[in-house]
């Protein structure tokens, strides 16, 4: 086991890699439970390799022998700075823009950046700071956010919904707007287009609105489907 005592692979370096991997698993499990693109394996890879590159960057800066003929000072966190830039490409890959102009994946992209940050912090020796950061983030996502959604201001307890309705009469559009206003469905965007079929022209209404969290998809669908002017309906929660 003498190779563990060498400068290039000490027990401290091994501890850093294991600790970074362990903290990344906490982030990965949280994403995995929510069926997000970035799960256990991705978080583990990002944090562990970020830790390794940080260690290499620091060790290289301080272990490179000085030369009298060349005066060069190496930045110990030069590689760590490049990690942040490289991880940005991974984060951009999980951000999706849907056809209804909604954007998803921002939290997952932030988690990718966070996993890299944890690896850098552990690699630089900030164990306690890294652990506390992971603890704060996980508790904030799993406890604070749900509490605000349940007991916070009304606007925070709302969810965005995408609704597509096909109706025959153009006058029904105003009736639909009045109905949504009556039942606290706050319209954010409306798009209307004519749809031709073999017999007549129908009106397709695409609406993005916010409603209270307690209105689940099935309940909302049944309520809107009962409107006498609705011929076809499609509904989808955006978050």
Task: Give the predicted TM-score (pTM) of the model.
Answer: 0.64
Q: How far apart are the C-alpha atoms of 82 and 68, rounded to whole Å?
A: 29
**pLDDT tens, residue by residue, 182-191:** 888 888 888 8
User: Average pLDDT for residues 44-54, to the nearest whole number?
Assistant: 87
Q: How far apart are the C-alpha atoms of 127 and 131, rounded to whole Å?
A: 6
**pLDDT tens, residue by residue, 92-124:** 777 766 655 566 677 778 888 888 889 888 988
Q: How far apart are the C-alpha atoms of 94 and 87, rounded to whole Å?
A: 11
The domains located in the chain, with CATH, are 2-151 (no CATH), 155-237 (3.30.70.260)
């Amino acid at each position: 086991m003498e190779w563990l005592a060498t400068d290039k692979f000490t027990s401290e370096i091994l501890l850093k890699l294991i600790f970074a991997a362990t903290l990344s698993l906490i982030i990965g499990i949280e994403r995995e439970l929510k069926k997000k693109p970035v799960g256990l394996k991705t978080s583990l890879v990002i944090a562990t390799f970020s830790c390794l590159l940080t260690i290499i960057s620091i060790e290289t800066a301080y272990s490179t022998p000085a030369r009298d003929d060349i005066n060069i000072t190496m930045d110990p966190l030069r590689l760590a700075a490049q990690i942040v830039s490289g991880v940005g490409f991974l984060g951009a890959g999980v951000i999706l823009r849907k056809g209804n102009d909604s954007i998803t994946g921002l939290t997952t992209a932030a988690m990718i950046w966070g996993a890299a940050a944890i690896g850098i912090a552990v690699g630089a020796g900030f164990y306690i700071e890294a652990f506390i950061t992971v603890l704060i983030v996980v508790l904030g996502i799993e406890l604070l956010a749900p509490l605000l959604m349940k007991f916070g201001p009304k606007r925070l307890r709302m969810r965005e919904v995408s609704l597509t309705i096909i109706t025959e009469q153009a006058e029904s559009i105003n009736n639909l707007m009045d109905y949504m206003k009556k039942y606290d469905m706050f319209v954010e965007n409306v798009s209307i287009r004519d749809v031709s079929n073999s017999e007549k022209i129908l009106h397709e209404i695409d609406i993005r609105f916010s409603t209270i969290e307690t209105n689940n998809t099935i309940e909302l669908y049944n309520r809107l489907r009962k409107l006498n002017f609705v011929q076809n309906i499609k509904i989808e929660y955006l978050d």
